[in-house]
Amino acid sequence: MKVRVDSDLCQGHTLCAMNAPDRFALRDEDGHAYAVDEDVPAGQERPVREAARSCPEQAIVLS
Ligand code: SF4
């Protein structure tokens, strides 16, 4: 599974980093989230899916 954050949609709520702190971080410059690694390792899908579901802006794109 792959994950990325649409920076145009992200509003920096931080929910993703709270749900999956190993997978998401926020940039100092603009406070927007990014995926630490676009390739989600086996066993890490669940928190990433939870983060995507909880994002109020639906900015987390899974593929
Ligand atoms: S929860 Fe969504 S809008 Fe908020 S920081 Fe994460 S990706 Fe951005």
Give pLDDT tens digits for 10-60: 999 999 999 999 999 999 999 999 999 999 999 999 999 999 999 999 999
Residue length of the chain = 63
27: Cβ contacts below 8 Å, ≥ 6 apart: 33, 34
pLDDT in tens, 24-36: 999 999 999 999 9
Per-residue pLDDT at 31 = 95
Q: What is the pLDDT of residue 33?
A: 98
Q: Residue 11: give its domain's CATH number.
A: 3.30.70.20
DSSP letter string, 19-50: H-TTTEEE-TTT--EEES-SBPPTT-HHHHHH
CB atoms within 10 A of CB 24: 23
Expressed as residue numbers, the domain containing 46 is: 3-62
The pick from 7, 8, 14 for probing ligand 1's pocket by mutation, whose C-beta has the most ligand atoms within 8 angstroms, reads: 14
How many domains is the chain partitioned into structurally? 1
Q: Which of 29, 55, 58 to mutate to test the pocket of ligand 1 (most atoms within 8 A of CB)?
A: 55
